[in-house]
Amino acid sequence: MSNHMPVNRALFDDVMVPNYAPSAVIPVRGQGSRVWDQQDREYIDFAGGIAVNCLGHCHPALVGALTEQANKIWHLSNVMTNEPALRLAKKLTDNTFADKVYFANSGAESNEAALKLARRWALDNYGAEKSQIIAFKQGFHGRTFFTVTVGGQAAYSDGFGPKPGDIVHAEYNNLDSVKALISDKTCAVVMEPLQGEGGIVTPTDEFAKGVRELCNEHNALLVFDEVQTGVGRLGELYAYMDLGVTPDILTTAKALGGGFPIGAMITTTDIAKHLKIGTHGSTYGGNPLACAVAEAAFDTVNTPEVLNGVKAKAQVYVDGLNAINEKYHVFSEIRGKGLLIGAVLNENYQGKAKDFLNAAMEEGVMTLVAGANIVRFAPSLVIPNEDIIEGLARFEKAVAKLAK
């Protein structure tokens, strides 16, 4: 079978498990924040592969790192180590609260490692009674059975038989709901420092600090899922840095590889020691190709120019979306932080977020949704301002059609 066989959307239905319903558009190449489909039609990318392509498409630093490493060594397994993995781990520990790193291939796997570590830490230090995990309603932590059960959306975890036990859910931004659940039997509280899938919900400072204090009081670990918020997305290298709260364990993926699959769990030496030899592992975790690309992405993002640029570009989005809304009155609020922005549909457009996404696609701009009522934007952190302005002009055309 040659790679010149005809590929179209119908082939998806023929050969793929039907758990996705992809667009009819098949992108074939990208440059910066622009993407072209099979018909050579151009789109502006405000979706970023769901907050993954933090440097857009085909960024020279990433292409260079991948090409250079591809000509050296691809895979070793963790029976040995490799230079890119150790360099990347050193950069992660030098630039965060953490001392130790575990590499995985995805956000879900990073969270799986964090949850297993929290349980093992509690077992070793306090005994089998201390196993409760508190997470949050509308939270999202991945699709493995453990992470999807910790995620606070039953629709994703129901229907697969008995779930992993001793997992409860509090209400995000409601400290009293955490107080009502937490006890000395709690081993960890798992939270996103901004809820992504759950609706682009920013925590109050009081809530974030209050959760940290409750964890301290009950000897529970605070686990921050920064799979979506990490690596510059909110205008800091990691979101915890702007909250004045330091977690015990943090997970990172999505933007970490700028589009190449990689994830990491980072923590302190004292906690890390409980994942001793043989307790956890991954065939591909710490893969040299992934780590080489991630190191280039990390170095590029972790600069004042890019991180401050995120804040400036966020303002261009917010101002532009507010201007559109003044004309068409479709949103009740624009919320989020940095370049993770949610335009919340008002009462006249409930349940129609997907209609806005589809209409935007027809106008040549790629967006996302967060639930049925929020249009989500997670573009490249280095998207040129002219692409933001042009993309919002296209988005406005879509809004105008739907607002008629």
From the list 199, 193, 202, the residue with the least C-alpha distance to 227 is 193
Q: Which of 103, 224, 254, 377 is catalytic?
A: 254
- What span, in angstroms and rounded, lies between the C-alpha atoms of 196 and 230? 12
Binding-site residue positions = 107-108, 140, 143, 225-228, 282-283
Q: Per this entry, what is the length of the chain?
A: 404
Residue 254: active-site member: yes
Strands 374-377 and 368-369, by their bridges, are antiparallel
34, two tokens:
């622009």
- What span, in angstroms and rounded, lies between the C-alpha atoms of 56 and 258? 8
Q: Which of 46, 103, 136, 140 is catalytic?
A: 140
Q: Could you tell me if 102 and 275 are in contact, meaning their C-beta atoms sit under 8 angstroms apart?
A: yes
- What span, in angstroms and rounded, lies between the C-alpha atoms of 85 and 69? 12
Q: Can you tell me which residue has the tokens 């302190």?
A: 268
Binding-site residue positions for pyridoxal 5'-phosphate = 107-108, 140, 225-228, 283
- What span, in angstroms and rounded, lies between the C-alpha atoms of 63 and 102? 25
Binding-site residue positions for N(2)-acetyl-L-ornithine = 143, 282
Residue 225: active-site member: yes
For 63-86, letters b (16+ CB in 10 Å) and e give: eebbeebeeeeeeeeeeeebebbe
- Count Cα neighbours of 124 within 13 Å in the Cβ-side half-sphere: 14
Question: Phi and psi for 234 in degrees, rounded to 5?
Answer: -100, 5
Q: Which amino acid is at 310?
A: V
- What span, in angstroms and rounded, lies between the C-alpha atoms of 65 and 42? 27
Q: 176: buried, middle or exposed (CB in 10 Å: 19+, 13-18, 0-12)?
A: exposed
Query: How far, in whole angstroms, is CA 314 from its chain's centroid?
Result: 17
Q: Can you tell me which residue has the tokens 């349940």?
A: 351
Q: What DSSP line would sit under 341-387, residue for residue?
A: EEEEE-GGGTT-HHHHHHHHHHTTEE-EESSSSEEEE---TT--HHH
Q: Which of 45, 225, 248, 387 is catalytic?
A: 225
Q: Could you tell me if 199 and 372 are in contact, meaning their C-beta atoms sit under 8 angstroms apart?
A: no
- What span, in angstroms and rounded, lies between the C-alpha atoms of 276 and 281? 10
What residues are labeled active site? 140, 225, 254
